Amino acid sequence: MYKLKRTGTMELFYALGLVSVSVSSPSVAHTALLWLSAALRGCALIAGTLVTFGRPVPVLIRSIAVYSLLPAVFETGSVVLSGQGSWCDRPGDARCWMMCAGSSVAAALFWELSIPETSGDSEGEEEEKQKHKSRVLFIRVLRLFRPDYLLLLGGLIFLSLAVICEMFIPFYTGRVIDILRTRYQSSEFLSALLLMSLFSLGSSVSAGCRGGLLLCAIGSYTCRIKVKLFQALTKQEIGFFETIKTGEITSRLSKDTKLMGMTVCLNVNVLLRTFIKTLGMILLMLSLSWKLTFLILMETPITGLIQSIYDKKYQRLTLALQDSIASANNAANEVVSGIRVVRSFNSERHEARRYDRILQDMGSIKNRRDTVRAIYLLARRLTGLSMQVLMMFYSRTLIQTGQMTTGNLVSFILYHSDLGDNIRTLTYIFGDMLNSVGAAGKVFEYLDRTPKISTDGKLRPDQLRGHVSFSNLTFAYPSNPSRTVLQDFNLELKPGEMTALVGLSGEGKSTCVSLLERLYEHEDGNGHILLDSEPLKSYDHQYFHKKVVVVSQEPVLFSGSIRDNIAYGLTECSLDEIQEAARNANAHDFIVQLERGYDTEVSEGGGQLSKSERQRIAIARALVRQPQVLILDEITSSLDSESEHKVQQSLANRPNQTLLVIAHRLKTIEKADQIVVVLAGKVQEKGTHQELMAMKGSYYKLRENFNSPQ
Ligand SMILES: Nc1ncnc2c1ncn2[C@@H]1O[C@H](COP(=O)(O)OP(=O)(O)OP(=O)(O)O)[C@@H](O)[C@H]1O
């Protein structure tokens, strides 16, 4: 006769009439009673904490939940597995009480150490927002896959087929063993063997097709995103490139776009495959022995928790290690590139010590990472081993009582060894998916960015005179907004006239050119720049850059032939036009002397040409467009006098062109119609050479300085 002892909380329930059932053996009623008492005990204790603290304390709630539920879980487990009750069938038993109290404290401690509470509401909200953002990003990444839906669908179908086939292989392995162990019937044996081979073949073929289709989808997706991102980047204003490091941009283009593709394809592939496989395996295991399945599933939360803690810690340390490797490389690079300074300041020892310190830091991070991995492997092995021992022990009883065959056990063991791996993969993939979605976030940030300088202008007049006026212009660079570079700047460039900007270095001459080229834009209300009385932004982007062309101080050439470089950006340009422009820039003669003439490949940056040759190609590139406004920013420094003469002659052949020249060699601009001296971002003086010399002001002083022996 089984009686509940009237102890503790149970006495209270008893008194309230909630517990009054007596059962002679473990039964459904007894189990229900245990669960009811667990629920009531939990509610009473939680109510007690609420009254005491006035608010729910998560750590206490968790401990109470474990403490209250454990006896019922333990007892139910014992009844299900062995058919006998444990010492928890008597609620007052000290062993049960101690086990529950100890386990709940251990569980609470384990939880607190591994998954600490967030410190405040704002952090919780932040986390929630982050999750929401990740979900939104994930959907966006998925949507961009639209053109590859067919490939993806095919991949997913083959994925499911591969998984289903794979799942049946251990099942038929067990069957074959059973047939061999018991009365052997060749037809049964052969059919089991045939099915096993068919499933193996099906799984291999489907896995191959799945891999191929998904890789195709990733390739096409990554390529599409790269092009989109590249287009978005090239539309950005120059100020954007000054605030973002080149490394960051290239990393978005190469690494993050690839990660985005992986997010959906590889992770979803692995996730789905593992998920379907896990589910299927659990179903098959249940069909083999539901009791044994129930036993081994108890391991799942522990494996999941261990894996998730390990992933978080390991990832953090891996990132730290990467940073540390990068700083060690930086330190070495710095010393190697600046070895002359290091040597002449006798700081070899100092640098060696610095490098050693960085390496030691790196070593310590590496050790910590390896320790975490060792502990993880140990914990994983121990859990797996304990579960295997338990499983073997229990399966012996099941086989002896005829509830299971040896073949079933073999299948079961094969499934079990896979199950642990699958659960680990599932937990890992979730973390990895968040990482990849983070990469997508950075790519979308650039994709969504609206350039600060618009290119929506529509104006394309048939006739452009090329009259430019800067009026009351005030400007500061976006990267240094507190420093005004141009202040109330006024300047007029007339068609058919040559204007020269002169002045000391850093006074604002190139800034005028950058503004006229629309590389930067002044803020509204800070003056105007008008071209034929219209603001620059109202002109069509392509039209504008065909009519207003600059040749800058540093000639930039791109990889491709010389011909491509001269016709750069023009859709239609004949070889005659190219050669004509090259002649005017005094580049034709040296080009035809090259082995492949105009088809000579220019390496990136034009490395194998001299600066003067590169400059002449850059001038030809400007002249071939027959611009209405031509800007030459300090080009004469890299030209010999013959080339300079030739260029001046060809410019004289276009009498209606507006010409703006920046020059340090003042001799070259004496013939200019207007010379403007720029000082501290303002127009200091203007006039012809003769007028300015007669004034004996800033221009005169510049000339004097220029002519005086250094
Ligand atoms: N991209 C930039 N971002 C921030 N400040 C800049 C930038 N470019 C130039 N400046 C600053 O603006 C000022 C004017 O520079 P600018 O290049 O227009 O002078 P400059 O007269 O053309 O000089 P130089 O003759 O040496 O080319 C300088 O003080 C310079 O430091």
Q: What is the ipTM of this complex?
A: 0.96
- Phi/psi of residue 469, nearest 5 degrees: -135, 130
What's residue 366's pLDDT? 92
Pocket test for ligand 1, best of 482, 485, 662 (most atoms within 8 A of CB): 485
- Phi/psi of residue 573, nearest 5 degrees: -155, 115
Asked if residue 477 has its Cβ within 6 Å of ligand 1, the reply is: yes
Per-residue pLDDT of 614-656, as tens digits, reads 888 888 888 888 889 988 887 776 677 677 777 777 676 667 8
What's residue 4's pLDDT? 40
3-state class of 225 per DSSP? helix
- pLDDT-derived band at 607, boundaries 50, 70, 90: low
What's residue 374's pLDDT? 92
Centre of ligand 1 to C-alpha 501, Å, is 14
Which ligand 1 atom sits closest to the C-alpha of 238?
1
Which ligand 1 atom sits closest to the C-alpha of 553?
27
Asked if residue 527 has its Cβ within 6 Å of ligand 1, the reply is: no
CATH says 468-707 is which class?
alpha beta
Asked if residue 480 has its Cβ within 6 Å of ligand 1, the reply is: yes
pLDDT surpassing 80 at residue 587:
yes
Q: How far is it, in rounded angstroms, from Cα 666 to Cα 261? A: 57
Instruction: Give domain 134-289+423-452's CATH superfamily.
Output: ABC transporter type 1, transmembrane domain (1.20.1560.10)
Centre of ligand 1 to C-alpha 581, Å, is 30
- pLDDT-derived band at 6, boundaries 50, 70, 90: very low
Centre of ligand 1 to C-alpha 619, Å, is 23
Per-residue pLDDT of 335-382, as tens digits, reads 888 888 888 888 888 899 999 999 999 999 999 999 999 999 899 888
What's residue 435's pLDDT? 63
Q: How far is it, in rounded angstroms, from Cα 636 to Cα 369? A: 59
Asked if residue 510 has its Cβ within 6 Å of ligand 1, the reply is: yes
Asked if residue 485 has its Cβ within 6 Å of ligand 1, the reply is: yes
- pLDDT-derived band at 16, boundaries 50, 70, 90: very low
Kindly report which listed range (23-27, 346-350, 482-486) carries the lowest average pLDDT score. 23-27
Centre of ligand 1 to C-alpha 634, Å, is 14
Q: How far is it, in rounded angstroms, from Cα 705 to Cα 710? A: 9
Share of the chain above pLDDT 90, in %: 5
Average pLDDT over residues 190-216: 87
Residue ranges matching CATH 3.40.50.300 in the chain = 468-707
pLDDT surpassing 60 at residue 14:
no
What's residue 148's pLDDT? 86
Per-residue pLDDT of 676-697, as tens digits, reads 988 888 888 888 888 888 888 8
Q: Report which secondary-structure segment, H or E, holds 676.
A: strand 674-679
What's residue 367's pLDDT? 93
Q: Two tokens at 497?
A: 């006239």
Alpha carbon nearest to ligand 1 atom 12, residue: 485
Place of tokens 């920013």: 633
Place of tokens 């859990």: 383
Centre of ligand 1 to C-alpha 475, Å, is 12
- pLDDT-derived band at 58, boundaries 50, 70, 90: confident
Centre of ligand 1 to C-alpha 511, Å, is 6
Asked if residue 505 has its Cβ within 6 Å of ligand 1, the reply is: yes
- pLDDT-derived band at 3, boundaries 50, 70, 90: very low
Which ligand 1 atom sits closest to the C-alpha of 664?
25
Centre of ligand 1 to C-alpha 340, Å, is 30
Residue ranges matching CATH 1.20.1560.10 in the chain = 134-289+423-452
Centre of ligand 1 to C-alpha 529, Å, is 19
Centre of ligand 1 to C-alpha 508, Å, is 6
CB contact at 8 A, 203 and 273: no
